[in-house]
Copies of this chain bind each other. A is one copy, B any other.
Amino acid sequence: MEDHKKRFDIIIRKLKDHGHKLTPQRLAIVTILARSEGHPSVEDIFHQIKKKFPTMSLATVYRNIVLIKSLGEVLELGFPDGSNRYDGNNPTPHPHVICIKCKKIVDPDLDSLDEIQKEVASETNFTILNHRLDFFGICSDCMAEKV
């Protein structure tokens, strides 16, 4: 709970440091990103924000996500269907478990990939900067629905 407040403050600090204005719309978007745990899509964020800001434009949501991403404060996951999901809560690379039915994303508690990353760097001669690790399957809720 307190983590979300910290994340919010960090992102706001970053925005100020880069000379950006803190508009009510932007604050609302940062709030949603900072506290989100399910890696929402733009559509999810837009839908949620509509409750408090009925006239906010979808373009405003997109512009702000691009801005916060450019500051390194949100992790972006792209999917083959062209959609993207965002994590403002933990913007550094980390594993995900994704349900192929309901699209829910959860963060498992796994060991660091540092060792593997070093192995990869040494084998390929790439300068490795980050990674993406996702597991795809069916969550227990969706498994239960099959019954």
B140, A120: Cβ atoms closer than 8 Å: no
- Whether A81 contacts B80 by the Cβ 8 Å rule is no
- 20 A-B pairs with CB atoms under 8 Å apart are A76-B80, A77-B80, A78-B78, A78-B82, A97-B124, A97-B126, A97-B128, A99-B126, A106-B126, A108-B123, A110-B120, A121-B137, A125-B139, A126-B135, A126-B137, A128-B137, A130-B136, A131-B135, A132-B134, A132-B136
Q: How many copies of the chain does the oligomer comprise? A: 2
* Distance A80 CA – B79 CA, assembled complex (angstroms): 7
**Known: A131-B133, A134-B132. Is A139-B120 also a contact (CB below 8 A)?**
no
Would A134 and B137 be within 8 Å (CB), given that A76-B80, A97-B124, A97-B126 are in contact?
no
A128 to B135, CA, bound (A): 7
Is A116's CB under 8 angstroms from B110's CB? yes
User: 14 more A-B contacts (CB under 8 A) besides A76-B80, A110-B119?
Assistant: A97-B124, A99-B126, A100-B129, A108-B120, A110-B120, A124-B139, A126-B139, A127-B137, A128-B136, A128-B137, A129-B136, A131-B134, A131-B135, A133-B133
A138 within 8 A of B: yes
Residues of B within 8 Å of A120, CB to CB, are 95, 97, 108, 110, 135
Interface residue? A109 (CB, 8 A): yes
Identify the 7 closest CB pairs spanning chains A and B, nearest first: A78-B80, A128-B137, A126-B137, A125-B140, A132-B134, A78-B79, A127-B138
